[in-house]
């Protein structure tokens, strides 16, 4: 299968894959006071508001910093039109985001319990060294196939005092030497830091117990 991304121009840079919704910004789907938002997308008539939303605090500083050290890939489960809109807001000069991926590049699955459609981001399909590729996402299920590459982040829903990107930058800066050094596999460090597999096993066990108690 052809990789989702073209060959890397600079193989010394790790690949940082960033989720979009509730990671870099929050788009409001219903009615919202326009004075409270950072961006508004209007219909062709110039009057009807199609989308409006808020950028996560520190997003521009973070992207500017990340672009200096990483190949920055933004991967959304949204449509191509939505991705183009977001890119124009986050990177109007087209200098920070190296690649943009959309729903078309996700694996579509349906939850057996909730019937909800889930979009999985398979990092193996990027054509990158997985020991130097990381996904920042607020929904752990997106990294189901690559949990060892996930750096979780809290969901952003418009809180102006949010500091998650500041903390993320600190974490990446503290490990930058290891991230760049080909001798290190950052997945080992991430496993020790977050131990996501254990957390998910605990959640599954808890869910099974709840199901059993309901059946009794």
Higher-pLDDT residue of 85 and 215 is: 85
| Domains of the chain (ranges, CATH numbers) | 15-214 (3.40.50.1000)
Q: Could you tell me the two tokens for 29?
A: 């789907």
Contacts of 172 (CB under 8 A, 6+ apart): 16, 66, 69, 179
Residues 180-198 have a mean pLDDT of 72
Residues 32 and 54 sit within 8 Å (Cβ to Cβ):
no
Active site residues: 19, 21
28 compared with 106, residue with greater pLDDT: 106
- Percent of the residues in the chain that have a pLDDT greater than 90, as a whole number: 50
More confident residue, 5 or 203: 5
d(CA 147, CA 135): 9
Closest CA to 182 of 2, 13, 35: 13
Q: Read off the tokens for 110.
A: 């349906």
Who has greater pLDDT, 94 or 110?
94
pLDDT digit string (tens) for 111-162?
776 778 889 999 999 999 998 999 999 988 899 899 889 998 999 998 999 9
Comparing C-alpha atoms, which of 72, 67, 28, 69 is closest to residue 51? 28
Q: Write the pLDDT tens digit of every residue in 39-68.
A: 777 655 555 666 788 999 999 999 999 999
pLDDT score recorded for residue 81: 87
Helix axes 196-215, 186-194, angle to 10 degrees: 40
Q: Give pLDDT, residue 33.
A: 56
């Amino acid at each position: 299968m052809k990789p989702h991304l073209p060959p890397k121009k600079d193989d010394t840079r790790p690949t940082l894959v960033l989720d979009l919704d509730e990671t870099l910004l929050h788009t409001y789907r219903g009615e919202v006071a326009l004075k409270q938002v950072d961006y508004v997308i209007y219909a062709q008539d110039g009057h009807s508001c199609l989308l409006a939303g808020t950028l996560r605090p520190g997003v521009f500083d973070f992207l500017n910093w990340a672009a200096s050290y990483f190949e920055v890939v933004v991967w959304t489960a949204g449509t191509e039109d939505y991705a183009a809109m977001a890119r124009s807001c986050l990177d109007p000069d087209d200098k920070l985001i190296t690649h943009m991926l959309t729903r078309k590049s996700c694996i579509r699955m349906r939850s057996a319990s909730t019937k909800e459609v889930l979009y999985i981001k398979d990092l193996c399909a990027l054509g990158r060294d997985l020991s130097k590729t990381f996904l920042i996402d607020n929904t752990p299920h997106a990294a189901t196939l690559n949990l060892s590459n996930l750096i979780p982040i809290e969901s952003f829903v418009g809180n102006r005092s949010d500091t998650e990107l500041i903390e993320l930058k600190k974490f990446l800066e503290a490990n930058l030497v290891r991230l760049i050094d080909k001798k290190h596999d950052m997945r080992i460090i991430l496993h020790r830091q977050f131990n996501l597999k254990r957390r998910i096993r605990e959640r599954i066990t808890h869910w099974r117990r709840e199901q059993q108690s309901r059946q009794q």
